[in-house]
Amino acid sequence: MILEYILKAKEIELAKKEQETPIEILEQLTLNASQPISLVEALMDPLKSHIIAEFKRKTNNKELISASESAINWTSRFINGHAVAVSFKMDNALYGGTSDDLYQSKQLFPDTPMIYDDIIIDPYQIVEARALGADAICLYSSLLDVENVNAFIQLAHLLDMEVIMCIKDREDIIKFSDVTDIVCIINSNFDGTDGDIQQSIDLYHLIPQDKIKISAGGIHTQNHINTLLDIGYDGVILGTILVPSN
């Protein structure tokens, strides 16, 4: 029920966006977007932290960062804290995300990989991601069939972006690992309720060894981070642990 509500809200949001900014305009904007930076290469660099900082203004209806506060300030904190990349939760209803958060941050920090993390159900969002300067996008396997995943990955690659396939179960690892650039095991749920890193531990051995692997959700301590990196994950996404609630 929650997922159905989220998807319906996203369809309404996209219809409004397409009226305000037709995809043809976004396609033109992609031509002026900053040079893409490889997230894969950044995560493979042994001199970097393997920490991807996640920017979101709210979660579970709890405010984390005021809507009036610039994302640039937080992006600067993340990068100065040695984050290898910054991921932006784009959904406004769930996370308070806005296009300006990603766009303005990329303008000031063009050498840091930035991720467009939205509930992607339409090619419009992929073009928007590149127009805003994103270097990578997230696709959620539980929301898409194989045909859509293949088409969306092809479009993202055409726009010089890398793809993070966000996966929660064994079947989707088998279906999608070969076609994506990065596999992300999701430990949490769409409604914002937290999970457990045991999900990532249990599924690790199913991911092809030559694939870049990251984990997200339920990561609250340095011990959690160390455990995941020690078993072979190339990176972790940290959210609320970096932005304590007010």
The answer to whether the predicted template modeling score (pTM) of the entire model surpasses 0.75 is yes
How large is the angle between the packed helices 2-20 and 123-132, nearest 10 degrees? 60
| DSSP assignments along 15-30, one per residue | HHHHHHS-HHHHHHHH
Q: Which residue has the tokens 């409604």?
A: 191
DSSP 211: S
Looking at the predicted structure, is the pLDDT value of residue 191 above 60? no
pLDDT digits 0-9 by tens, 7-24: 899 999 999 999 999 999
Q: What percent of the chain has pLDDT over 90?
A: 75
Alpha-carbon distance 14 to 88, whole Å?
18
Per residue in 61-94, pLDDT tens? 677 888 778 899 999 999 999 999 999 999 988 8
> Residue 85 in 3-state DSSP?
strand
Phi, psi of 234 (to 5 degrees): -90, -10
